[in-house]
Amino acid sequence: MKRVLPFTLTLLVASGAFAQEPPDAGAPASSSLADELDLAAGTPSKAAPVVPPQSPVSRAFQSLNPDISVIADVTAGLARGPSYSTAGDDPVLSHAVGELPAGLTAQEVEIGFQSVVDPYFKAELYLTIPNQSGLEVEEAVVTTTSLPANLQARTGLFRSAFGRNNGQHLHVQEFTRRPLVNEAYLGVDGLRAPGAQLSWLVPAPFFLQLSGEVFAVGAPEGSPHLSTFGGTPASSKGASAAGPSLTGTAELKAFFPATESLSVSAGLNVARGTSPGLGCVPGPVVLCLDVALPSPSTLGAFDLYVKYKPPNVAGGYFALAWTTEVFVRQLDGPPTLPLSGTPGPDGGLYTQLVAQVARRWLVGLREDLLGTPSTGYMPRTQRTSLSVTYLFSEFARLRAYGERETTAPPGLGFFSGPPVSAAYLQLEVSMGAHGAHAF
């Protein structure tokens, strides 16, 4: 009885929440199907609105307001010492338990607005509040929808298509923190700045897209180091005097559906600009600083995404995705003091496997390597991360994340530095109408 009563109530509520079908839906029960087909074929096609105009609730669906969404990540964590670097949307542990950094933070609150502007443009605005540190514009971008010759243009402030991870927002990440190479080579905020992009869908039998971007990166306010790839560091000219400088990128993306269940996506990327100011001073104890590397530099990257996912779940929910990105950088000249050494090349990579092991469970393992090859100011750093995600629904998830990181003294190999570990528990909820994401 205990179980039947709530169920009956649920059925009653559920049935009340839906409209009875319109009186003209289908055909009269007394007529034969052939007659109904004649009627459907003979009457003018219905062009009625999707929802009855009489309903005030339904009328709201025809609103011309933008789609609005809010995505919030709340994260608690504990670390055994500082990490090599921290991305702008990584969780900041602002308190301490004894000697250890610890805390609970609103890792990010993202507010999104998306809308079609007119027959020629669509627009997106994403505001972000990382770690309760104030409101920033993460992206404010206009995209064309009707350029000829398979061209598409974007302009505004947006994330570059350089690599794979850089273009993704926090809620698309499979791990609580971004890969090391993104922070080290594209800056703590990734490569995002005011700019313009022109992309061309190459007329080929498979997906092949070529894009070029130009960003005008200004000196960051109140910070001596660059927060993104490109621009002019405030420390070298002074924030007020420093004008924006141009950063250019080019990307070639290809996609191959190897089989119905197996997809391969690959990209070649190159960027030209000033490197962000993350470097480490060699010595008996490695000291990593946020200082400028004002030398112009060329950055190359290769990204690969291989996904196995059956076309349906009749045989089970297992799916597997492998992502790898490799970065290589060449400075035009040697870095300035306090850093020293040859201009490179240096580089890094990450590789990750994420498996869906049940309908609601995902497990991910990632290895980050910096210093492949290594320089005096880019020592060998590695991080191993494990992520376990529980999906409450499409709109809420809980993630447990742990990592272990080492930075090696000069001349020594990976895993030779003192280990620093951290653990996080991250709850993410998504509200409102957030647009679908690219593959």
Partner 1 sequence: MTRTLLALFLLGSLGAFADEPLHVVTTIETFADLARSIGGDQVEVKSLSHGYQDPHFVEAKPNLMVVLNRADVLARVGLDLEIGWLPPLVTGSRNEKILPGQSGDIDCSQFIDPLDVPTTKVDRSQGDIHPAGNPHYWIPPVNAVRIAKGMMERFSQLRPGSKEYFAQRFQAFVADLKTRAVKWEALARPLAGAKVVTYHKSWSYVSKWLKLDEVGYVENRPGIPPSPDHLAQLITTMKAVGAKKVIVETFYNRAIADEVAEQAGATLVSAPSNVGASKDITTYPQLVDALLAALTK
Residues 360-389 that bind partner 1 (CB under 8 A): 360
Residues 121-180 that bind partner 1 (CB under 8 A): 122, 143, 145-147, 150-152
Shortest spacing between CB 163 and partner 1, in angstroms: 16
In 235-313 the beta strands, taken as DSSP E runs, fall at: 245-257, 262-275, 278-281, 287-290, 293-308
438 interacts with partner 1 by CB under 8 A = yes
Residues 401-430 that bind partner 1 (CB under 8 A): none
CA distance 119 to 117: 7
Cβ proximity to partner 1, 16 vs 98, nearer residue: 16
Residues 32-61 that bind partner 1 (CB under 8 A): 32-34, 36-41, 45-52, 55, 57-58, 61
By CB atoms closer than 10 A (0-12, 13-18, 19+), residue 10 is exposed
Q: Which residue type, as a one-letter code, is found at position 226?
A: L
DSSP-assigned states of every residue in 388-426: EEEEEETTEEEEEEEEEEEEPPTT--TT-SPEEEEEEEE
Among 53, 238, 283, 316, binds partner 1 (CB under 8 A): 316
Cβ proximity to partner 1, 65 vs 393, nearer residue: 393
The piece of 20-28, 185-193, 238-246, 408-416 that touches partner 1 (CB under 8 A) is 20-28
CA distance 233 to 284: 28
The piece of 177-185, 256-264, 283-291, 341-349 that touches partner 1 (CB under 8 A) is 256-264
Shortest spacing between CB 290 and partner 1, in angstroms: 36
The piece of 25-33, 96-104, 382-390, 418-426 that touches partner 1 (CB under 8 A) is 25-33
Would you give the end-to-end CA distance of the chain in angstroms? 48
17 interacts with partner 1 by CB under 8 A = yes
The piece of 173-181, 276-284, 311-319, 331-339 that touches partner 1 (CB under 8 A) is 311-319
Assess contact for 295 and 331: CB atoms under 8 A: yes
CA distance 137 to 194: 11
Cβ proximity to partner 1, 114 vs 421, nearer residue: 114
The piece of 188-196, 379-387, 391-399, 405-413 that touches partner 1 (CB under 8 A) is 391-399
Assess contact for 136 and 112: CB atoms under 8 A: no
CA distance 249 to 309: 32
Closest Cα to residue 323, out of 365, 272, 376? 365
Residues 97-126 that bind partner 1 (CB under 8 A): 116, 119, 122
The piece of 287-295, 330-338, 365-373, 393-401 that touches partner 1 (CB under 8 A) is 393-401
14 interacts with partner 1 by CB under 8 A = yes
Residue at token pair 């929808």? 145
Shortest spacing between CB 295 and partner 1, in angstroms: 36
